[in-house]
Homo-oligomer: A and B are copies of this chain.
């Protein structure tokens, strides 16, 4: 179904290949001149998300063919099976049903015929109860002090989502201070614990299996830090909770199983922000704000499931991305939030997109014959303007961009916000339309500088605008990109829900770890480069 081999044989694909050929030289300048109404036509507003996609290398014909491609690829059926709880994660035989996590009570989500909504709301109620206890001060540390600091220990999906969201919703945080530690590098834990009082600190250990190397090492070191101050093994149960499914390991660590928050094999790590993995976020902003975020996600889930493709935000973003990746050979996609509080949103999307669709083999095991996920990258505007925007404007690479901005600030501060957004709009305009040598000359640019001060333009972007960065809006943005990634994976025929590509490095590290600690003279039988590096490491290490 919709595997890439078929994708490139669809009539719409062939039509797009032809249209692409005819697009050479049709710049955004020309397209806007031809059709001055395209600004209104290529814009859609849904659920308070305003998407402007007029500054793309498309015309009505291209858009129509892209939408046909989606229809012809069987996307509609794939969406139905996805929402229907079928095992869309084929290589592992699992569903991917994160939409159930944010659905209201009574919604119909089932996996293999078994309703999951009761489980979902049971865990949400458990999270809510714990959050209320901790936030009210009813939950106390071992010495009777209230908890003022929470440290989330997790990596990948157990880190990037709640970390991104805690920063994004900084203005809504009224609970304990939350810090995040992911890296096995001792520097990460040391920096986070610096200045904290163990008596006032709670650790949330997030690991589905409770065996993740980085997280468990950090958890054990945090446990030692805690006990070296509090002295009593019983303290662990007051200062550690777990988000996991491995009750035996959790209990063995010293955590009260009543404080283990569960999720399920149909929740992938990178799709887990709306699961119990969001506990640290809920502790920071409270259950009500957290529910607003879930409701925002749910609203986009319903939109995605039901809207026609031509007005369907995730589908539109996905098709535009595919157009650049497969027909224009764009290797990257920049995400540029004009909101400092979204500073980790690009890093969050890196995992979401690149771990889901950074694959070259389709669900049936056949090679995909077109490029798949791009490298996703970005930093907040206006900062990026003073860093890498030079390349976006005048470099040799085609980098399609998503600009994300808000009409109102959560930190009203003179005219800062208008200047922030003036820059956002100005950048999309400058990228699209550039400046000719004639225009530069007319402005008085000296002849020797003209080639350097010319801007080729024709550099595409989307702009996503919303009223305010609040929990509901953040939820909508997350679900929007989740489903964009789903659509692209569906069209390419990928299984977006496995991640076998991380296994080999893990296995090799398990072998190398003990070898690094062995005596200098112990022989190594890796390749000569890895051997050489390991020897150098050992020599320095043993000083």
Q: Which residues of B contact A232 (CB under 8 A)?
A: none
Q: Which residues of B contact A301 (CB under 8 A)?
A: none
Check A428 against B217 for contact (C-beta < 8 Å).
no
Check A414 against B372 for contact (C-beta < 8 Å).
no
Nearest-CB residue, chain B, relative to A405: B537
Instruction: Specify which of B32, B421, B513 is in contact with A422 (CB 8 Å cutoff).
Output: B513
Instruction: Specify which of B40, B379, B419, B463 is in contact with A350 (CB 8 Å cutoff).
Output: B379
Check A184 against B420 for contact (C-beta < 8 Å).
yes
Check B512 against A432 for contact (C-beta < 8 Å).
no
Nearest-CB residue, chain B, relative to A398: B331
Stretch at the interface among A10-18, A143-151, A283-291, A523-531: A523-531
Instruction: Specify which of B354, B388, B451, B512 is in contact with A358 (CB 8 Å cutoff).
Output: B388
Give the docked Cα–Cα distance between A510 and B528 (Å). 57
Give the docked Cα–Cα distance between A531 and B39 (Å). 8
A365 to chain B, nearest CB (A): 3
> Is A248 positioned at the interface, with any CB of B under 8 Å from its CB?
no
> Is A435 positioned at the interface, with any CB of B under 8 Å from its CB?
yes
Q: Which residues of B contact A449 (CB under 8 A)?
A: 91, 500
A503 to chain B, nearest CB (A): 7
Check A361 against B451 for contact (C-beta < 8 Å).
yes
Stretch at the interface among A96-104, A153-161, A313-321, A475-483: A153-161
Check B408 against A541 for contact (C-beta < 8 Å).
yes
A361 to chain B, nearest CB (A): 5
* A residues 1-53 in Cβ contact with B at 8 Å: 32, 36-40, 42-43, 45, 50, 52
Give the docked Cα–Cα distance between A55 and B533 (Å). 12
Give the docked Cα–Cα distance between A39 and B526 (Å). 10
Instruction: Specify which of B501, B526, B527 is in contact with A455 (CB 8 Å cutoff).
Output: B501
Task: Type the 1/0 row for A390-419, where 1 means its CB is closer than 8 Å to any CB of B.
Answer: 111111110100000101111111111111
Q: Which residues of B contact A467 (CB under 8 A)?
A: 540
Check B156 against A452 for contact (C-beta < 8 Å).
no
Q: Which residues of B contact A426 (CB under 8 A)?
A: 505-509, 511-512
> Is A229 positioned at the interface, with any CB of B under 8 Å from its CB?
no
> Is A491 positioned at the interface, with any CB of B under 8 Å from its CB?
no
> Is A442 positioned at the interface, with any CB of B under 8 Å from its CB?
no
Nearest-CB residue, chain B, relative to A154: B386
Of listed A38, A391, A512, residue having the most chain B CB within 10 A: A391
Check A387 against B354 for contact (C-beta < 8 Å).
yes
How many copies of this chain does one complex carry? 2
Contact A361 to B452, CB < 8 A, known contacts A422-B513, A465-B533, A508-B429: yes
Check B504 against A430 for contact (C-beta < 8 Å).
yes
Stretch at the interface among A59-67, A274-282, A334-342: A334-342
Check B418 against A397 for contact (C-beta < 8 Å).
no
Instruction: Specify which of B40, B455, B499, B512 is in contact with A425 (CB 8 Å cutoff).
Output: B512
Of listed A359, A413, A427, A435, residue having the most chain B CB within 10 A: A413
Q: Which residues of B contact A540 (CB under 8 A)?
A: 407-408, 465, 467
Check B186 against A412 for contact (C-beta < 8 Å).
yes
> Is A308 positioned at the interface, with any CB of B under 8 Å from its CB?
no
Give the docked Cα–Cα distance between A394 and B494 (Å). 12
A395 to chain B, nearest CB (A): 4
A522 to chain B, nearest CB (A): 14
Q: Which residues of B contact A495 (CB under 8 A)?
A: 452
Q: Which residues of B contact A260 (CB under 8 A)?
A: none
Nearest-CB residue, chain B, relative to A158: B386
Give the docked Cα–Cα distance between A416 and B389 (Å). 37
Task: Type the 1/0 row for A340-377, where 1 means its CB is closer than 8 Å to any CB of B.
Answer: 11000001001100110011110001101011111111
> Is A183 positioned at the interface, with any CB of B under 8 Å from its CB?
yes
Q: Which residues of B contact A361 (CB under 8 A)?
A: 394, 451-452, 454
A-B contact pairs, 29 of them (CB 8 A): A32-B528, A40-B528, A156-B385, A183-B340, A183-B380, A185-B411, A185-B417, A186-B409, A187-B341, A218-B416, A221-B413, A221-B414, A221-B416, A331-B331, A350-B387, A355-B387, A358-B391, A359-B395, A373-B395, A385-B505, A385-B506, A418-B517, A422-B509, A422-B515, A425-B512, A425-B533, A427-B505, A428-B529, A433-B527
List 19 additional contacts besides A40-B528, A407-B537; criterion CB under 8 Å. Answer: A38-B529, A42-B529, A43-B529, A52-B529, A156-B386, A184-B416, A185-B341, A185-B417, A190-B413, A214-B382, A214-B419, A351-B386, A373-B391, A392-B501, A394-B500, A408-B541, A422-B515, A426-B506, A435-B504
Q: Which 5 A-B pairs have the closest CB atoms?
A: A358-B391, A39-B528, A156-B386, A186-B413, A407-B540
